[in-house]
Amino acid sequence: MFTRTKRFAAIAVTAGVIIALTACSAGSSSDSATSFPEHADSITVAQPADLKTPDPVIDNGLLSLNIFHAVFDQLTEVDGSGGLQPRLATSWEASADAKTWSFTLNSAAKFSDGTPVTADDVIFSFQTVIDTSTSLNHIYTNNIESMTSTGADNVTFTLKSADANFTRIVYYISIVPKAVYTALGAEGFAKAPIGSGPYTFVSWTPGVSTVLKKNPDAWGAQGTITDVTIVPVADSEARVNGLLSGSIDLTAIAPSQVDTVKNAGSGYSEVSAQSNQLVYLGMNTLTGPLANADLREAISMGIDRATLIDTLLGGNGTVATAASVTPDVNGYDDSLAPLPFDVDKAKALVASSGYDGSPIVFNYQTDGNVPMTNEMAQSIAAQLADIGVNVTLTGGDIASFTLLWTSKQLQGLYLYQFSPSMMDAATTLNYLYGPTGYALFSDPDLNALIVEAGTTVDPDARNAVIAKIWAINAEKNYIANVDYSVGTYGLSSQLDWTPRADGQVDFRTASWK
């Protein structure tokens, strides 16, 4: 079989330094569409960030999950459309109070060293996360009270409190072999990780590349591509340049770069899909003028969402409704209409609110993952000025902004995004609405509904409860949803690949035409 060979070097980004990516590939410029081999078996993917570590016990970054979900198995799987599917577990059942969950494992599952995956490995993997202080996965395990097994193929979890969404939470814990992890220790395992997924680790060079190879003996679904190389390239322009030079086969691109790829020639193509990203305008309703419901409604009504999407995002987005999840996320209410834009009514509401014109602090990330973040913040500020609401734009880097968000120190308005990677509204409710998250408002009716949603196992009944939460937000405008983002990607025109709603890049689904 003909194997595509590549050489590349990534130079780390520092202040004022542009990432450079050089490569030798099967072709570049407009003739690359015909120079790729008919049955190529390698692919190079660029993503904005690197692994923190190859140990899935420690790392849980969204971009790291691209790799972990290819190398390791999890009990369940969220598919490209956001649906829940079996993976290691063939079936599961919950107690009536949603506090006890029992999973039956596939007896055919085995690690890449040939040893079977057992209930002991599953329990060990979850327990190691719980016991590891540096693990970033505690958010997924902090509700586990205990774990037991009744044989090699059964694991039962007892939770501290009811969680109807537990089958999606377990999707984020990768299963490692107990014997190998124990023998090598965390540091040794990170150097030679072993999983049971369709790919195996070949190497990880921090800041340069992660190399994976297809596991020909994988027990479950196998990938088509034999060799996968993932390179971290933080700068979006460098990623596009790498694509057009032929050194990169697939990469996420900014909405503003879509036309660049489309116009580059027949060797390149752009694909897009509704993503799970909500861009929203948060409000601190606990103090100050935003405690007034009329003013909050005026602010929401004064945002011309359609124009923002058309002019800043090149049409790559959808005007949001009062539902704070995107259409592909479980819990979305498709009966809600897009949020209205009405300058005259917004001005009248500003007047009735008693707002005195004092500037309201408007925080935003200058380098975050809100598409066109600087332009978006400035445009919204200008639109609010048109209805008589004055803001003081306060930009900050992602680290500074995140600290303000997590410590609940954002004073007025703030532009942010949320992408529930498990493709369910539970994460959004806990982070953006609930009292244990980062909400800057307090509503006992909402809090009671969040608890009810968490204990309602029946999917239709649960979604009906969640719909009541969106209805309250439509009335009280605690969060002014702006748009549902569209994920945009550039790729070789000879590569067959479909984007996922959760923004992950699934190497298993890629193939050369």
Confidence of residue 265 (pLDDT cuts 50, 70, 90): confident
Q: Which range has the worst mean pLDDT, 54-58, 206-210, 219-223, 487-491?
A: 219-223
Q: How far apart, in whole angstroms, are the C-alpha atoms of residue 115 and residue 125?
A: 16
Q: What's the mean pLDDT in 440-449?
A: 95
Residue 202 scores a pLDDT above 60: yes
CA neighbours closer than 13 Å in the CB half-sphere of residue 258 = 16
The predicted structure's pLDDT at residue 367 = 81
CB-count burial class (<10 Å; 0-12, 13-18, 19+) for 265: middle
Confidence of residue 255 (pLDDT cuts 50, 70, 90): confident
Residue 178 scores a pLDDT above 50: yes
Give DSSP secondary structure letters for 202-227. EEEETTTEEEEEE-TT-SS---S-SE
What is the 8-class DSSP label of residue 432? Answer: I
Q: Cα dist. 68→54, 109, 192, 508 in Å?
A: 8, 17, 14, 12
Q: Do 85 and 79 touch, CB atoms closer than 8 A?
A: yes
Residue 36 scores a pLDDT above 60: no
Q: How far apart, in whole angstroms, are the C-alpha atoms of residue 405 and residue 401?
A: 6
Give me the torsion for CA of 159, 160, 164, 165, rounded to 10°: -80
Q: Which helix (H) or strand (E) holds 346?
A: helix 343-353
Residue 212 scores a pLDDT above 70: yes
CA 179 to the chain's CA centroid: 32
The predicted structure's pLDDT at residue 426 = 92
The predicted structure's pLDDT at residue 3 = 33
Contact residues for 230 (Cβ-Cβ < 8 A; gap 6+):
44, 45, 46, 47, 66, 67, 209, 210, 211, 212
Instruction: Give the largest Cα separation in the chain, rounded.
Output: 73
**67-123 residue pLDDT tens:** 999 999 999 999 988 889 999 999 999 999 999 999 999 999 999 999 999 999 999
Q: What's the mean pLDDT in 472-498?
A: 95
Report which of residues 222 and 277 the model is more confident about.
277
The predicted structure's pLDDT at residue 9 = 37
The predicted structure's pLDDT at residue 30 = 38
Q: Do 482 and 364 touch, CB atoms closer than 8 A?
A: no
The predicted structure's pLDDT at residue 40 = 66
Q: Do 52 and 61 touch, CB atoms closer than 8 A?
A: yes
Residue 323 scores a pLDDT above 70: yes
Report which of residues 332 and 136 the model is more confident about.
332
CA neighbours closer than 13 Å in the CB half-sphere of residue 158 = 5
Domains assigned to the chain: 49-197 (3.90.76.10), 276-487 (3.10.105.10)
End-to-end CA, the chain: 15
pTM of the model: 0.80
**358-408 residue pLDDT tens:** 999 999 998 878 889 999 999 999 999 999 999 999 999 888 998 999 899
Angle at alpha carbon of residue 285, lines to 282 and 286, rounded to 5°: 130
Q: How far apart, in whole angstroms, are the C-alpha atoms of residue 192 and residue 171?
A: 23
- One-letter amino acid for residue 479 of the chain: I
Q: What's the mean pLDDT in 316-327?
A: 96
What is the 8-class DSSP label of residue 331? Answer: T
